[in-house]
Amino acid sequence: PRYTYLPARLIHRTFHPRKNFALIDKGARAGLYPGLGVIAPEGVVGIIAETTATYSVVYPLFHQGLHVTAELPLHGVYGSTSWKGQVLNQLSLDFIPLYIQVKEGEEVWTGPSTIFPAGLRIGRVARVDPDYAGGFYTITLRTYVDWHRVWSVYVLVPSSP
């Protein structure tokens, strides 16, 4: 689908070890509803979880309950992001098989989903550790969006055909 990019501003954010959230200054009156993607010029921020008439709660990538389909575009393989609650601005990229030759510095983008269009920036690979018993890598990403500094965001509202 095509999207309308609705500008919004973060007016509050948390720095919690497991379940961070942000509050933005747009809500249902602006056409927002739960499940919409939120981005910044630097990359993906998160997903709207709840709305009121004038505000919305956003679960960022740094929330243990949020997983985003992610792609390693150099290889055309998909995984899922997760946050282990340890370090802000770092995510795990899960389910990338060991036969893929992943290197530090590679970009990670959104994969196809109903929330985000494919190809939005998430981050770069910071560390790659093989898990031979599990058959997948343990990959650490450094996100492009800095949770300490993001203020201006855009909500991705699907356009009617």
3-state helix, strand, coil in the chain (%, to 5): 0, 50, 50
Structure tokens at 9: 């501003």
> What confidence score (pLDDT) does residue 161 get?
64
Mean of pLDDT values over 57-79: 97
Q: Look at the chain and count its residues.
A: 161
If we measure between CA atoms, which residue out of 58, 78, 56, 57 comes closest to residue 68? 78
pLDDT score for 85: 85
pTM of the model: 0.95
pLDDT digits (tens, 9 = 90+) for 146-155: 999 999 999 9
As a whole number of angstroms, the distance between CA 78 and CA 159 comes to 26
Percent of the chain past pLDDT 90, that is, above it, reads: 92
- The 10 Å Cβ neighbour count of residue 94 is 16
Which among 29, 64, 73, 66 is positioned nearest to 48, based on CA atoms?
66
